[in-house]
Amino acid sequence: MPGNSESPPLERWPAPAKLNLMLHITGQRDDGYHVLQTLFQFVDFADNLQFVIRDDDQITRQSQDFTLPESEDIIVRAASLLRQCYREKNQTDSQQFGVDIKLEKNIPMGAGLGGGSSDAATTLVALNKLWQFAFSMDELAEIGLQLGADVPVFVHGFAAFAEGVGEKLSPYSPDEKWFMVVVPPVHVSTKDVFCNPQLTRDCSTIKLCDLSRRELRNVCTPVVVKSYPEVGQAIDIVNKYSKACMSGTGASVFSGFDTKAQAEDVLQKIKQNPVSASWFSFVAKGLNQSPLHHMLAAQ
């Protein structure tokens, strides 16, 4: 029977960033959603969340230096939706399920790194355990899809080749490279990118078995560069030292390396450039399993 078990006081649940190693759009559905193919990989750079179970039915979110109103926060929406789905499934509202959620926000918003989706997924996975709801990972992924197309991959926690609107996942294990990531100071609107009439929407479909033999590209890049010149600047700067790629709909630009030292060397050169010296940037290891699931396995 579910109950209000208490979270350990300092337990931090990771919500890792992701990179889209490629992104193709193969069509558009009648409802406006785009049909895509993309390759997700996690990196060991993350937001962190803490959950303190309450005795009442309130859901709150606390965070320093994060001004998004609670009512608009996908974290609060995720917690509320999970509770709603449990009550609908069990046809009960007799028990109260409240929580105080503390967010340490490290992943920049509007950067194509999946921070909001990852926060939502971690909220679903953590509260499913702490509230003792016993939803399966597949059920949590279905709930998460209502919050965003990228949420299921974070729920399942494995690097994946994604199709459909991003919900059809096939496990895939790309090389776990070291990545240098730079984020120019712009907030890219994913909605605006997907509404842009110049966006390529007729890419040929790639078979999973052919993925390793194909050149990986992101078809959103030309549209984003035209609308956000800073992203173009970032690509040009990174291209001086290594092949630059854009994650998702941007604004983050990344490059992969065999060693941490190589990635850090390029990062230092980028920090010495007057244009990019103050831009948010980091080096992180590619991961084919989410640290969230490493944490679950250890419990």
Active site residues per annotation: 18, 150
51 in Cβ contact with 5 (< 8 Å): no
User: What DSSP state is assigned to residue 218?
Assistant: B
The answer for residues whose C-beta is within 8 angstroms of residue 261's C-beta and 6 or more apart is none
How would you class 28 by CB atoms within 10 Å of its CB: exposed for 0-12, middle for 13-18, buried for 19 or more?
middle
Cα–Cα distance for residue pair 225/240, rounded to 1 Å: 17
Dihedral sign computed on CA atoms, order 209, 214, 217, 218:
negative
Cα-Cα-Cα-Cα dihedral of 178, 282, 224, 176, to 10°?
20
Strands 160-163 and 253-257, bridge-based pairing: unpaired
Q: How is 35-89 classified by DSSP, letter by letter?
A: EEEEEEEEEEEEEEEEEEEESSS-EEEEETT----GGG-HHHHHHHHHHHHHHHH
Taking alpha carbons only, the member of 131, 137, 133, 195 closest to residue 169 is 137
Taking alpha carbons only, the member of 140, 124, 156, 142 closest to residue 49 is 124
21 in Cβ contact with 39 (< 8 Å): yes
**79 preceded by cis ω (within 30°)?**
no
Taking alpha carbons only, the member of 55, 46, 51 closest to residue 9 is 51
